[in-house]
Amino acid sequence: MNQVKKINAPIAETKDYPMEIHGDQRNDLYYWMRLSDEQKNAETPDEHTKKVVQYLEAENEYKEKSLSEVKEFRNELFEEIKGRIKPDDSSVPYFKNGYFYLTEFEKGKEYPIYRRKKGSLDANAELLIDVNTLAEGKSYYNIGALKVSPDNQWLAYAEDTVSRRVYSIKFKNIATGEILGYEIPGAATSIEWSNDSKSIVYVLKDEQTLLPFQVKKHTLKQPKKDVTIYTEKDNTFYTYVYKTTSKKHIIIALSQTVSNEYLILDANAPAEPKMFLPRERNHEHSLDHFGNEFYVKTNHNATNFKLITCPDNEPFTKDNWVDKVPHRKDVLFEGFDLFDKHLITEERIKGITNLRVMKHDGSDDHYIDFAEEAYLAYSSTNADPSLPYLRVGFTSMTVPNTIYDYDFETKKLTVKKQQEVVGGYDASLYESKRFYATSRDGVEIPISLVYKKDTPPSVNTPLLQYAYGSYGSSMDPYFSSVRLSLLNRGVAFAIAHIRGGMEMGKHWYEDGKMLKKMNTFNDFIDCSSFLIDQKMTSSDNLFAMGGSAGGLLMGVIMNERPDLYKGVIAAVPFVDVLTTMLDESIPLTTGEFDEWGNPKEKEYYNYMKTYSPYDNIKKQDYPATLITTGFHDSQVQYWEPAKWVAKLRTHKTDKNPLLLHTEMSAGHGGASGRFEKYKEVALEYAFILDLAGKIEK
């Protein structure tokens, strides 16, 4: 990247935009980069829109010129990554309502084809939908939901052609192939059929905030006659619908960071909802129904959650609750599946998810033994509770994703499919280890590390450290065929299981949010220091990467300890924390108050200001940085990373590359299509490998 020194970087125009709250004044010189949805999507852009787009395109051009020396390598890397993925692949079929359902990929095509077979895997395949056909001529296309009616005649599906996660629901007659000549716009991906197959219950999104908020019933072939069932007025709650395992109920779920509420509809004739329990601050629970009981995962008097049952006749008060799986302080109860004769639970013990199998009659209770130290195991697609086996997924940092059927009676795992790495993969060539770094406040932070055995970690080893650390999302050790492009070139990879996730229990999340958010950032930095102190890498060879809230993490560590890192990749980064959280018109803001705090309250404002990356940029050296975003991103708006880059350019005192990549036709998830998304991965890996001196030029 020596050419960076010779190419003039774009310098963004500055305009004063003073803001004041709690007696504190800020001036955002790059606020002008913000565009509304109407401006972005207008057929004839106004002058302001043109100016913003020109700046983003100038940054893209600067990025390409700066990386011109590795352009050919990027293309080779993309082909290498794509080449490990089986071009003609299919999923393991799962059984539901008389049919086996499967997903297929055909060679040379970007999108899946959904099919089903009636009664037997030997039956002729029936086409549900070919996404390749639907995506023709579109720069972005995504199917967000596929729901087959109980009578197996109709398919309801939700499509997004902009990458803003706002969907239109359409209907297809499976037998004739006819797609009805109308659609339901502005929807979420939440769809459930009534049991008589005559109507669907779905969720609309607010046009401005994009929050799912309203539940409606649509009767097939009767456009513009939809009936409103429920409207959520609290914009800190998200609304979605699902059908219980028993198929007797459609549940309207109302979810906030620290509380839930469930309304029950009769799936035979969805109309007037019944309340399960009134919402209660700090009561988090989830609900299912089977037989004549409701099953509830709850944190009521159970920090790490427990499972209770209660009769399905009203009232549903806590007085009627009976513990099914009691609370344990050292085990995080994560979820459950219901079968005719068995209850399956997912329980996180010492950071690892274990699958537990219990007979309803109490005659058997055991954990599935995977004979691994660090791994990810999960209940896969189990759509029919009458089946005598559990569909299970398993992976580790050295074992490709494997789908098993676990026989309840024999207790044997049968491999149904293992992810194929085209060109061959030998797990014995790679090593995975688990370490614990001691944080500055004395807490042990797990680190999962993988590397190729012929290049063991040392002070000369390039190492990419990854983390997320928010929303209670646990980053489990998993296999990636894409990651082999790093490992095979002598780059080690580490996942830091920092606070803010839930790897070590609910307290792990609570200690990494709100007024304890700094623990998340400090943990990552302390893990970096540990890896350096243990001589598994050095500051000249350590790279950091995170996306979305993990991109916020990247922004903070760059401000706090830029000296630890050779390079940083921040994908769709949430870096303008104060301005975004003060603006309730921005999608998702109000639903985030219980994650970050509400800065309209002075205590939270002052705390956020101590770490918000955009507000804490300093006159100092920064590591080489690649920042990615999507123009249509509804989760983290493109202007956050764009403003961040513009401000960094005027403050950084080094000559390291600072590059912004904006995908002009994509949103938070990047480009659509099976392979197209790997072009951005190739960009990120080429950036790292070039800085690490691993590219022959």
- Strands in 273-325 per DSSP E: 274-275, 285-290, 293-298, 306-311, 322-325
Per the residue annotation, which of 218, 249, 661, 668 is the catalytic one? 668
639: left (phi over 0), alpha (psi -120 to 50) or beta: alpha
Pairwise CA distance, residues 596 & 71, whole Å: 39
Query: Active site includes 380?
Result: no
Q: Is 684 helix (H, G, I), strand (E, B) or coil?
A: helix
Residue 248 is given by DSSP the state S
Per the residue annotation, which of 199, 448, 548, 612 is the catalytic one? 548
Asked if 430 contacts 398 with a C-beta cutoff of 8 angstroms, the reply is yes
Percent helix, strand and coil across the chain, each to the nearest 5: 20, 35, 45
Per the residue annotation, which of 633, 661, 672, 690 is the catalytic one? 633
Residue 2 is given by DSSP the state G
Q: Using only C-alpha atoms, what is the Rg of the chain? A: 26
- Comparing CA positions, the residue from 293, 294, 297 lying closest to residue 283 is 297
Asked if 77 contacts 414 with a C-beta cutoff of 8 angstroms, the reply is no
The residue written with tokens 């001036």 in the block is 27
Query: Active site includes 594?
Result: no
Query: Active site includes 668?
Result: yes
Q: Is 531 helix (H, G, I), strand (E, B) or coil?
A: helix
Tell me the C-alpha to C-alpha distance, in Å, between residue 428 and each of 342, 379, 479, 483, 494.
36, 27, 14, 16, 18
Is the preceding peptide bond at 311 cis, omega within 30 degrees of 0? no
- Comparing CA positions, the residue from 107, 108, 148, 145 lying closest to residue 127 is 148
Helices (H), 481-614: 484-487, 506-510, 518-533, 549-560, 577-581, 593-596, 602-611
Both tokens assigned to 394: 């398993």
The residue written with tokens 């770094």 in the block is 437
Sign of the dihedral through C-alpha 76, 77, 82, 83: positive
Strands 376-379 and 365-367 turn out to be unpaired
Long-range CB pairs of 595-604 (<8 Å, 24+ gap) are 595/257, 595/470, 595/471, 595/513, 595/514, 596/513, 596/514, 596/517, 597/514, 597/515, 599/21, 600/21, 602/22, 603/515, 604/514, 604/515
Strands 293-298 and 227-231 turn out to be unpaired
Give the length of the chain: 697
Both tokens assigned to 53: 């787009």
SS3 sequence of 96-120 = ECCEEEEEEECCCCCCCEEEEEECC
Active-site residue set: 548, 633, 668
